[in-house]
């Protein structure tokens, strides 16, 4: 029997998976074997966005029940190898970066990607002075206007983070657009402005994105983002910057390491 499902799981000119490769007497479930076979074929010969065979076609190909096919496909969906699009079908998913961001020490956000060995492209998508920024009460003393800008982070073709940086006017006057294009805010503050940064405060929450952020990150506005607010202070205790990180939760995890704890009985 031959199969010629054009532009689906077996590209033209390739050989379909051999049916007898399924070990039907094995204690290992058939759906796991099928998921492995599909995963291997996807990795070796399918492109991102290619459509998977229909359930009926795979039932015929593997000679198994619909429920077995559904369990195999679901495993690959759970592993983010495949993605379902309602009313359209199941497709090969775009590989997503997986990034662990540590918040137990002070470092530029870009260091997270360097440590992970992840290639990253960044771009400034806004640079302006703002008379009415949305800031926490503890920053009400900042003189207006404040300098704000946003940086978009993309790796493997996937936009996955936006940082919104705000600095008070006396500091903002000394920062140029070229500075923000070439350096993270911590490098600007420490290396160019010679400020000594001694403390950072973090607040973690989940929020739905604005229409602008959802468009930039290519996600639905009804989804939720992992949001990390950071306020950094200098040696005098003055707040010198606030950065809000908007992070895709399918890409990011936050890490905190605690040491020298004195546990009470």
The pLDDT tens digits of the residues spanning 192-229 come to: 999 999 999 999 999 999 999 999 999 889 999 999 99
Tally the residues of the chain.
Answer: 265
Q: Which helix (H) or strand (E) holds 71?
A: helix 66-78
What confidence tier does 102 reach under pLDDT thresholds 50, 70, 90?
confident
Q: Is 103 helix (H, G, I), strand (E, B) or coil?
A: coil
Mean pLDDT along residues 47-59? 91
Q: Are 151 and 205 in contact (CB under 8 A)?
A: no
Question: Which residue(s) pair with 128 in the sheet?
Answer: 148
What confidence tier does 256 reach under pLDDT thresholds 50, 70, 90?
confident
Question: Which residue(s) pair with 100 in the sheet?
Answer: 253
Phi then psi dihedrals of residue 247, to 5 deg: -120, 135
Q: Which residues contact 105 (CB under 8 A, 6 or more apart)?
A: none
| Tens-place pLDDT, residues 115-146 | 777 788 999 999 999 999 999 999 999 999 99
Q: Crossing angle, helix 66-78 and helix 55-62, to 10 degrees?
A: 110
Number of helical (H) and strand (E) elements in the chain, helices listed first? 8, 10
Q: Are 226 and 213 in contact (CB under 8 A)?
A: no
Average pLDDT, the chain: 88
Structural domains present in the chain: 19-92 (1.10.10.10), 99-255 (3.40.1410.10)
Phi then psi dihedrals of residue 126, to 5 deg: -165, 140
- Residue 12, pLDDT > 50, answer no
Q: Crossing angle, helix 30-45 and helix 55-62, to 10 degrees?
A: 110
**Angle (CA) 30 31 32, round 5°:** 90
In whole angstroms, give the CA distance from residue 161 to residue 213.
9
Nearest to 92 by CA among 56, 40, 30: 40
> Does the global pTM surpass 0.85?
no
Distances (CA, A) of 1 to 16, 18, 42, 55, 76: 10, 11, 21, 18, 26
Q: Which residues contact 241 (CB under 8 A, 6 or more apart)?
A: 165, 166, 167, 171, 185, 189, 231, 232
More confident residue, 184 or 19: 184
CB atoms within 10 A of CB 249: 14
Mean pLDDT along residues 23-51? 90
What confidence tier does 87 reach under pLDDT thresholds 50, 70, 90?
confident
């Amino acid at each position: 029997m031959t199969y010629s499902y054009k532009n689906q799981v077996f590209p033209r000119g390739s050989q379909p998976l051999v049916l007898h490769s399924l070990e039907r007497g094995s204690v290992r479930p058939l759906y796991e074997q099928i998921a492995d076979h599909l995963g291997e074929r996807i990795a070796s010969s399918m492109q991102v966005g290619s459509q998977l065979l229909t359930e009926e076609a795979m039932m015929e190909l593997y000679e198994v029940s619909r429920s077995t096919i559904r369990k195999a496909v679901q495993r690959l969906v759970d592993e983010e190898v495949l993605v379902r699009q309602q009313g359209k079908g199941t497709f090969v998913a775009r590989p997503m970066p997986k990034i662990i961001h540590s918040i137990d020490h002070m470092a530029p956000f870009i260091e997270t990607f360097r440590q992970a060995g992840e290639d990253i492209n960044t771009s400034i998508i806004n640079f302006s002075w703002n008379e009415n920024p949305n800031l926490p009460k503890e920053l009400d003393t900042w003189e207006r206007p404040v300098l704000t800008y946003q940086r978009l982070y993309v790796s493997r073709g996937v936009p996955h983070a936006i940082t919104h940086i705000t600095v008070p006017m006396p500091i903002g006057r000394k920062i140029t657009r070229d500075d923000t294009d070439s350096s993270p805010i911590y490098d600007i503050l420490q290396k160019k402005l010679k400020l000594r940064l001694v403390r950072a405060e973090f607040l973690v929450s989940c929020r739905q994105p604005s229409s602008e952020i959802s468009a930039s990150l290519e996600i639905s506005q009804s989804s939720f983002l992992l949001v990390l607010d950071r306020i950094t202070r200098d040696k005098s205790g003055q707040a010198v910057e606030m950065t809000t990180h908007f992070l895709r939760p399918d890409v990011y995890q936050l890490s905190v390491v605690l040491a020298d704890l004195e546990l009470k009985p």
